[in-house]
Structures are given as structure tokens and as C-alpha cells.
């Protein structure tokens, strides 16, 4: 059986052309701006399943809240409350995009699970 060993990452250096295309690190404040609801605290390794379960549960709750906010905005628009058409459309699009993201995350999790089940020990 042939073993493949990955090269050490620290020993490699990028040439200027590769450095231009290399991914840039994002600072923690910038990450917090992009996803204010997600905690950057490290997970407790002794309870990874509970943390993962909480993370997914919070994600589903946030999507549900966005769906409700979108429905409330549309209902407010239809009932003549002080809700602009732009606000209602933006709220509905945010809810739609977050729902699509949730479905894609679910699909990736299922694909990963199926791949793990196909692996032989």
C-alpha cells in the first residue's frame, strides 16, 4: 500500500504571481460585520455534537425570524402601515436568500454524511 505524505506548508513560499491570487486574511472586526449573529468563540472540544447542534438550531431560528420579518413587512405594506415597498422587497429577498443558504448547507451536510458512510474502515 502506497502512502502519500503532504508537503509541509511552512516550507513553501509563493512567488509574486501566486501571492497576488492568494486569499487575503480577513480581520475579526470585518468578520463580525459580515456575520454579527455568529459567535467567533472556539467550540468546546468535549461537547462538539452539542455545539454543532446549537449552531444549526440557531441558524434555523434566524432563518425563521427573517421569514417572519419578511411576512410582517408584506402584511404591513398591504394593510397600509408605514412600510415602503422597498423595505418589504428587501426583507423578502433577505428571507429568500437565507432560506436558500440553509437548504444548501443542509445539502452539503447530507453529502458529507453520505460520503462518510461510503468510506470503508
- Between 25-34, 48-57, 107-116, the lowest mean confidence (pLDDT) is in 25-34
Q: Is the pLDDT of residue 1 over 80?
A: no
Q: Is the pLDDT of residue 7 over 90?
A: no
Q: Is the pLDDT of residue 40 over 80?
A: no
Contact 87, 74 (CB under 8 A): no
Domain segments of the chain: what residues?
47-121
Tens digits of residue pLDDT in 64-113? 999 999 999 999 999 988 889 999 999 999 999 999 999 999 999 999 99
CA–CA–CA angle 31, 91, 40 (5° rounding): 20
pTM, 2 dp = 0.56
Amino acid at each position: 500500500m502506497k502512502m502519500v505524505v503532504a508537503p509541509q506548508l511552512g516550507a513553501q513560499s509563493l512567488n509574486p504571481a501566486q501571492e497576488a491570487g492568494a486569499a487575503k486574511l480577513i480581520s475579526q472586526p470585518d468578520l463580525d460585520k459580515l456575520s454579527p449573529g455568529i459567535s467567533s468563540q472556539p467550540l468546546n472540544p468535549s461537547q462538539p455534537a452539542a455545539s454543532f447542534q446549537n449552531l444549526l438550531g440557531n441558524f434555523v431560528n434566524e432563518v425563521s425570524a427573517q421569514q417572519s420579518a419578511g411576512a410582517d413587512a408584506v402584511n404591513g405594506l398591504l394593510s397600509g402601515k408605514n412600510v415602503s415597498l422597498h423595505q418589504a422587497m428587501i426583507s423578502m429577498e433577505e428571507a429568500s436568500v437565507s432560506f436558500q443558504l440553509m437548504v444548501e448547507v443542509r445539502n452539503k451536510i447530507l453529502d458529507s454524511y453520505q460520503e462518510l458512510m461510503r468510506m470503508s474502515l
